[in-house]
Chains A and B, each alone.
Chain A
Amino acid sequence: MTNNLRSELVVRENETGVGVERPRSYTNILPYILVFPAVMVILLLYLYPFLASFWKSFISKEGVLSLANYEKTLRLYRYDILFTLGVTVLSTLIATVLSILLAVYLRLSKSWLANRIGILYRLPIFLPFVVVAQMMRSFLAPHGIFNLFLAKLDLINIENPLQFFNWTGLTFGFVWKEAPFMILIILAGFQMIDDSYIEAAKSVGAKLPQIITKILIPMNKPTILIAVTLVFCSLIGCFSFPYMLIGGKTPVTITVDIAHRVNYFGDYGVANALGVFSYIMVSFLAIYYIRSMMRKGLYD
C-alpha cells in the first residue's frame, strides 16, 4: 500500500470519526438515560404484571403452591381453550388469504375500482371491536339484516334462519375487522417491491399466480409475518366481541371465561391460569416470528 493511499485512509477514518476517542463525559451515560423511561415502562407495565400473573397461576385459593388452578382450568375450560385456538387460527388464516389477494389486486391494478376499494377498505380499521360487536349483533341475528335479506330472495325461510351466533359469526366478525388492517400492512410491503421484478417475471412468461407465489409473497414474507402475528395476538386477546356475540353460550373464548372467573368468583388463580394458556398460544407465533427475524438479520 502506498503512503498516499494510507494517508488518505487515515483522513477518511478521521472524517467518519472511527478510531477517534470520544471525550469521557455525560455522553457515555446519555444512551442509558434516554432508554430508561421506555425500559421502565416495559418492566413495570408489561414484564412485572406478566410474571406476576404467571406466578399467581400456581398459587391456589389457600395460598400454597399447587397446580389446582390448572386442574380446574382444564376440567372446566379445556373445550374453550381449543375453541379459542380454533377460531383464532381459522380467522387469521382466512384474513391472511383474503388480504393477500386484495393487496395483490390493489398493487397490480390501476383501475378506478381499485382506487375506490383502496379508500373503502380502511374503514373497519377505525372501528373499535365493541362497535363491530354491536353491528354484527344486528347484522347476523336470526332475524337480522343478513337473514332478512336472504329471506327476501327466497333463499331461506325466516322462521328457520341461518345461525351465526356461534363460531361462524365470530370468525366472520374477526375477519371483517382484521382483514383491512392486514391489507394495510401487506399492501405497504407490496408497494416496496419494484415494478421491474414483476415486469422481468412477466417477460419470461410468468402468469399472475406465479407472480403472486414466486415474486410478491416471497419478497414480502417478513411483512406478511408481522401482519399475521399482530392479528393473531389481538384476536386471542379480544374480549368485547365474543362476549357480546356468544357470551352466554358454551363453548366461548377464554377471555370471556377470564372475565367470568374474576367478576363472579373473584378467582384470579384460575383467571391467571387461563391467561397462561393464551400466552402459550401467542408465544408459538412470537417465537417463530423472532427466530425468522433473527435468521434474516444474520444472513442478509
Chain B
Amino acid sequence: MFKRILNTWVISLLLIVMVLGIFSLNIGAEEKVKLVYITAGDVNMLALGQHVIGPQFNEKYPNVSVMTVHTGPGNAGSRLIFEKIMADRDKKEGDIDVAMIHQIFLKWAMEEDLLLEYAKDIDTWQYITSPFAKKTLGVDVEGYCMPMFHSQTVLAYNPKYVSDPPKTYDELVEWVKDHPGKFGYNGIKGGMSGVAFTVGWIYWKTGKYEKYAVTGPFDEAEIATWEEPIKELKEFNKDVTLTGGNVATLDALNRGEIWIGPVWVDMFLTWKAEGKVDPATRLILPEPGMPGQPMYFVIPKNTAHTEEAKKFVEFVTSPAVQAEEIVKRFNWYPGIDGSYIKDFVPKETFDIIYQDVTPEMLSNYGLAFPLGDYFDAMLEACE
C-alpha cells in the first residue's frame, strides 16, 4: 500500500517537473534568441567562445544568448563544421548561425555555395586590410568571411643551446648537419606546424611562392618539379627528430630533446604566459618565410538569425574586442588592421607579441599556405 502511494507520488512529481520544463523552454524561446556559434580550433577557441566573447556579447545584447559548440583542432575541426552545414543545406533554417573556420573550409564551402555574403554589410569591414580576407587558397572570398585573428608559424629555439640561430632555411640545413637530432618537427600528419614547415621548404627550394600561393593557376606539371626538393627533405629528415604533434614539439623543446622546432606563435606565447615554456625560449621567422593562416567568421546562408549573427561578428571584429581579447588575452595577431587597435593595447603587450618577430619580418616572410590544389598535391607528394 505504502509502496503504491509512493509510486503515485514519484510519477506525479516527474510529470510536474516535465510540464514545468516544457513551459520554461517555451518561455525562454519567446524571449531570447539563441545564437549557435560553432568553432574549430584548439580548446582555446572553445574557451574564447564560452567564457569571453559569448558572455560579453550577451551583456551587450541581453536578448541574445550565444551557445558555443566546439569541433576540434586543425582541418578536421573545420571539416566537421563543413559536413554539418552541408547536411543542413536543404533545410529552411539550419542549426548553425555563425562558424569559426580555417582557410580550407572556405574552399569547400564556396564550391558548394553554402555561405552568406555579409561582410560588407557590417560596420567593421572598414578595418579589414588583410589580403587573406579577399582571396584565400586561390579562392575569391571577399565579402563572405571576416578574419578574427591571424596566426603565424615560426621557429622557436632555446638560446641556452643555440646562441646563433639559423636565419634562413639554408642555414638551418647546415645547422642540422652539425647538430643531428636537435631540430624537431611533426611531419605532415601530426599537425599544421609541421605542414607549414614542409610547405615553407617547398617554397624555398622552388622559389615559386607567388605562383603556388598567390597567382596560380594550378599546373599539374609543377608536381614533377618537387621530386628533388622532397628527396632532399627526406634526406634532411634523417637528421631530424619527428615529433607527435604541435604540442609534442613544444614538449620536446621544453625537455631539451630538441633545440629548434616550428611552432604557432599564439600557442607558444600562451604557453609562455602560463609558464609552460622555458621563458628563455625565443622565436625567429626564417627566410624566405613560413606560412601562417587566419581563422574566419562565416555565416551559413540558411541561418535563422542573420541580423544577430552579423552583430556578433561585428562585435568581435571591433577594435576594442580585437585589442583586449584577441591580442592581449589570446596572443594572436589581430584579424583587422593592426593600426586600428594600437590605441587600445598597452605598449608591453605589443612588445611581447612583436618582440622577436617584428611587423616588418611578418610582412616580408609571413607567407600564405598554397592554393587548394597545390596544397593537396604537395601533401600527397610528401607521403
Q: A141-B251, A144-B255, A247-B187 known; A265 and B243 CB under 8 Å?
A: no
Given the complex, which residues of B lie within 8 Å of A143, measured CB to CB? 255-257
- Name A259's closest neighbour in chain B (CB-CB): B76
Q: Tell me the bound Cα distance from A61 to B108 in angstroms.
A: 15
User: Does B203 interact with chain A (Cβ within 8 Å)?
Assistant: no
User: Does B242 interact with chain A (Cβ within 8 Å)?
Assistant: yes
**A260→B189 contact, CB < 8 A:** yes
Q: Tell me the bound Cα distance from A142 to B257 in angstroms.
A: 6
Question: What class of interface size applies to chain A in its complex with B?
Answer: 20 to 34
Q: A248-B245, A263-B79 known; A141 and B257 CB under 8 Å?
A: yes
- Name B186's closest neighbour in chain A (CB-CB): A248
**Of residues 198 to 254 in A, which have CB atoms within 8 Å of B's CB atoms?**
243-250, 252
**B76→A248 contact, CB < 8 A:** no
**A247→B79 contact, CB < 8 A:** no
Chain B min CB distance to A200 (Å):
53
**Of residues 185 to 202 in B, which have CB atoms within 8 Å of A's CB atoms?**
185-191, 194
Surface stretch bound by A, among B4-12, B317-325, B375-383? B375-383
**A137→B187 contact, CB < 8 A:** no
**A262→B257 contact, CB < 8 A:** no
**A262→B108 contact, CB < 8 A:** no
Given the complex, which residues of A lie within 8 Å of B327, measured CB to CB? none
Q: Tell me the bound Cα distance from A15 to B291 in angstroms.
A: 83
**B108→A248 contact, CB < 8 A:** no
Chain A min CB distance to B40 (Å):
11
**B248→A244 contact, CB < 8 A:** yes
**Of residues 57 to 77 in B, which have CB atoms within 8 Å of A's CB atoms?**
74-76
Chain B min CB distance to A148 (Å):
9
User: Does B252 interact with chain A (Cβ within 8 Å)?
Assistant: yes
Q: Tell me the bound Cα distance from A243 to B79 in angstroms.
A: 18
Chain B min CB distance to A163 (Å):
9
User: Does A256 interact with chain B (Cβ within 8 Å)?
Assistant: yes
Q: A248-B243, A264-B379 known; A256 and B255 CB under 8 Å?
A: no
User: Does B244 interact with chain A (Cβ within 8 Å)?
Assistant: yes
Mark each residue of chain B from 348 to 383: 1 if its CB lies under 8 Å from any CB of chain A, else 0: 000000000000000000000000000010011001
**Of residues 73 to 117 in A, which have CB atoms within 8 Å of B's CB atoms?**
76-77
The one of A144, A248, A250 in contact with B244, judged by C-beta atoms closer than 8 angstroms, is A248
Q: Tell me the bound Cα distance from A58 to B74 in angstroms.
A: 28
**B74→A245 contact, CB < 8 A:** no
Q: A243-B244, A249-B242, A263-B75 known; A76 and B186 CB under 8 Å?
A: no
**B244→A137 contact, CB < 8 A:** yes
Given the complex, which residues of A lie within 8 Å of B256, measured CB to CB? 143
Q: 8 nearest interchain CB pairs?
A: A248-B187, A248-B190, A247-B190, A248-B186, A143-B255, A263-B76, A142-B257, A249-B242
- 19 inter-chain pairs at a CB distance below 8 angstroms, sorted by A residue, are A76-B383, A141-B257, A243-B244, A244-B245, A244-B248, A245-B244, A246-B244, A247-B186, A247-B187, A247-B248, A248-B186, A248-B187, A248-B189, A248-B245, A262-B76, A262-B79, A263-B75, A266-B79, A266-B108
